Structure formats: C-alpha cells, structure tokens
Amino acid sequence: LRTTIPGPRSRELLERRAAAVPNGLYKAHQIAIESASGALVTDVDGNTFIDFVGGIGVLNAGHCPPSVVAAIQEQAAKLIHFSALVGTYEPYIALCERLNALAPISGPCKTILSNSGAEGVENAIKIARAATGRQAIIAFEGAYHGRTLLTLTLTSKYTFKKTFGPFAPEVYRAPFPAAYRMGVSEEEAVERCWEAFERILVAHVGPEAIAAVIIEPVQGEGGFIPTPREFMRRLRDFCTRNGSILIADEVQCGFGRTGTLFAMEQMAVEPDILVSAKSIAAGMPLAATTGRAAIMDKAHIGGIGGTYGGNPLACVAALEVVRMFDDGELLRRAKQIGAIVRERGAIWLRDIPLVGNVRGLGAMLAIELVKDRATRAPAADEVLEVVQYCAEHGVLTMRAGLYANCIRLLMPLVITDDQLHEGLDVLEEALHVVAQQKGGGHG
Ligand code: PMP
C-alpha cells in the first residue's frame, strides 16, 4: 500500500490550487484524486488508497455506487434542472415522501430540500422561529452546524470562526456532556451539563424565549461523541414542557452511519425536526430538513427553498441511496464494522499509551490521542503525524475534535473485510510508530 505523495501530477494540481483557490479552504491531504469506487480512491499519480474518511461522511453507500451512477445518468438525459420554485417534478416529491416515512418522528411529516448541510440547518432554525414566534436558540460546545454565518454562529469551535464575526444574535451556548474530556463518568457529565443548562435559563435567557435546541445525536467535528441518552431525554422533556423545538442535526451521523438509518432511532426520544445531508445522496449536493408537518407548515410561503434545492439529479441519487438501505444489509454492516474497529481499538487502548479513548456509535468511531493519560493533554501534533503516516501507507484518515486530537473513521459501509483490516493494520502501525517517536507517554 506504500504511496508516494504528493506525486508529480498531484503536486502540479496542488500548486494550481494554491494560485487559484483562497488559502482558507482547508485540505487534510496533499493529494489530488482522480477516481473512486467502493472504498478505494485513486489519485492522479496512480496511488490507490483505502478510504477511511468517506468524503467526510458522505459515502456511506460507497464511492460511485453503480445504481446511483445509472440513476443520475438516466435523469441527466431527461431533466437536469427545473427548480422547485417554478413547479414540481416527481423525484422531489418521491424523495420527500420516502424521507417523511423514514424519519424517526411519529405522525405526519414534511420535508424541504436544499443543497448543503448548512442550508438544511438554516431551514430548521427559520422554521423553528416561525413556528414558535420566538428567537433564542441553544447550541452546544463542540457543535458543528456549518459555515454560513448563522450556522457558523451555532458552530462552537473558535478556529472556524475567528475573524468572521459579528455573529447572529440570540444563540446561547451550553456545555456538552463530553465525559472523557471532562474526566468524569457519563452519568456525572450529564448531571453537570444539565445543571449548566438550567443555569443558562436563569442567567442568560428565559425558557419562554427559546425557539429551539439544536444538537448532534453524535457530535461529529467535536470528536465523535454520542450524546448520552439521558441527556437527550432531558432535552426532549424540556422542549416538550416549554414549547421549544428539538432539532437533531444528523448531517454527519445520519444515513446509516451509526447502524440505524438515523442516530435518533437509538436515542429513545423523537426530535421535532431532523436535518440530513452528506450520505443522503452519495455525493450529490443535497440536504433534507424533515419535521412534524404542523411545524414545517409554519414557514411563510416563499420563505424557504432556493433555485437548486432538491434538483432532480440529487433527488434520484438520494432515492437510490434510500433504496440501497431498504433491506437493512448496509445497517447490519455498519454495526459489524463498528464491532471490528472497537475490537481493534480495545487492543490499542491496552497497548498504546498515546490512545486515550476509543468511542462512537456504530461505524462512526474516533480514536482520541493524548500526551498523558492522567492529564488527558490533547495530542494534536501526533494526530497529524498518524494521519500523514496512514496516507503515505495508503489509508486516508482525517482529524476531528475540539482539540483536533481525534482521528475520525468514516469508512464507506461497502468496504470489504480485507480492506477494513488492511486499513486498520496501517492505522495500528502508525499509532505504534508515532507513540514510539514521542517516547510513549505515561500509561
Ligand atoms: N452539521 C453537521 C453535523 C456537519 O458535520 C456538517 C458538515 N461537516 C454540517 C452541518 C454542514 O454541512 P455542509 O458542509 O454540507 O454545509
């Protein structure tokens, strides 16, 4: 699997990128990709990589699934664009019907489509405000909801935001029960964060002003931290009692990643609105904001939607992805992949002091690296070295976490056992090599 990156042709493209594209567009790897299939990607120099990033959670159904490619090709020859603002077309309606039926929300649902996760979240917030007549939103530390100005306001990591303020008003931040980081049990983390949540209602904003609470059932950019079920239950209770809308942002954790189509299915309570994107359409730009019909209908006519939202190509891709999940095989595979990675992770946790925590839900797993297990000091440089080592040995991974000290794993669910083990072998070797270079830390 040894690669030479960046190869000459990648180098040339990267140089052109540097001249043509602003530096603010991050890239995790010095590579230029040409093609991909299943769980493998090939760069312009002919290097092949096992993909453990999955386009940042976009490729749960794999790269270029043949049936999705065929659906897009067929649709492209028939109708590429019409705009849902002009009239309607079958793929848009069929997809909304499917999503309304699949959403983990009881009773009638409705769906509005858009082009990106951020737009999907913006729609959820706008609809929640329209439905409640209130303005305030509570979001969490470590949350990531997008890069538009409103969603960047909801996003908590300062390095994403830095010079872009002022941000939108009426967004309040509550601590997230990140038990490992807090150095306490999950129960204790829930108690402490709940106390803080209730304090916000006294110190900063009255409950009667809160339109919505937005939360990722599994925090993504924040470090792949599942929301403790008890915490989600309390948020649900609060929203129900208070007349606020509970928004689940499943942009990264949705569409089969966690072993159920939506992670909320494992949370025992229902959201009022759920946002999905990324893996919904195998890489076509699409997001869906799905919620209780009575709430969704509160946005005024002309207030939601856009020129491209739910374009026919993205819709037929999504319909095919939904069909691919129908028989439950990919969901079973997500659970299996999760079990395999966890098994390997348990060994790393035992043998490699650099590994402080292995966690997640289903096949949405992260490895958190620490300089010292006692202090849990984040090992961010080490993560970059592991990521680089893996790429040089043919495995694409990516960092995550409020402290950028987690390695996130989002391999396509169509990955074969051989590819999975081969990739995990490389990751294991990388962890050992980097741990040794750093002197191992303290057990
Ligand atoms: N919400 C979550 C949970 C995400 O992970 C992301 C993307 N990383 C977004 C929203 C924003 O999605 P997009 O990049 O498509 O705007």
**Measured from the CA of 221, which atom of ligand 1 is nearest?**
5
pLDDT of residue 270: 98
**Measured from the CA of 121, which atom of ligand 1 is nearest?**
10
ipTM: 0.99
**Measured from the CA of 216, which atom of ligand 1 is nearest?**
3
pLDDT of residue 269: 98
pLDDT of residue 406: 98
Most ligand 1 atoms within 8 A of CB, residue of 114, 252, 398 to mutate:
252
pTM of this structure: 0.98
- What string of pLDDT tens digits covers the 443 residues of the chain? 778 899 999 999 999 999 999 999 999 999 999 999 999 999 999 999 999 999 999 999 999 999 999 999 999 999 999 999 999 999 999 999 999 999 999 999 999 999 999 999 999 999 999 999 999 999 999 999 999 999 999 999 999 999 999 999 999 999 999 999 999 999 999 999 999 999 999 999 999 999 999 999 999 999 999 999 999 999 999 999 999 999 999 999 999 999 999 999 999 999 999 999 999 999 999 999 999 999 999 999 999 999 999 999 999 999 999 999 999 999 999 999 999 999 999 999 999 999 999 999 999 999 999 999 999 999 999 999 999 999 999 999 999 999 999 999 999 999 999 999 999 999 999 999 999 998 754 44
Rounded to whole angstroms, the Cα distance separating 185 from 154 reads 27
Domains in the chain: boundaries: 8-64+328-437, 66-325
Ligand 1 interacting residues, C-beta cut-off 6 A: 56, 116-118, 121, 144-146, 216, 220-221, 249, 251-252, 277
Ligand 1 centre to CA of 410 (Å) is 14
For ligand 1, atom 12, name the residue with the nearest CA. Answer: 117
Would you list the DSSP string of 249-316? Answer: E-TTTTTTTTSSSSGGGGSSS--SEEEE-GGGGTTSS-EEEEEEHHHHTTSPTTSS--SSTT-HHHHH
Ligand 1 centre to CA of 58 (Å) is 10
Which contacts (CB < 8 Å, 24+ apart) does range 325-332 have? 325/61, 325/255, 325/256, 325/261, 330/60, 330/61, 330/256, 330/413, 330/414, 331/256, 331/259, 331/260, 331/261, 332/259
Homologous superfamily (CATH) of 8-64+328-437 is: Aspartate Aminotransferase, domain 1 (3.90.1150.10)
User: What topology is assigned to 66-325 in CATH?
Assistant: Aspartate Aminotransferase; domain 2 (3.40.640)
pLDDT of residue 4: 84
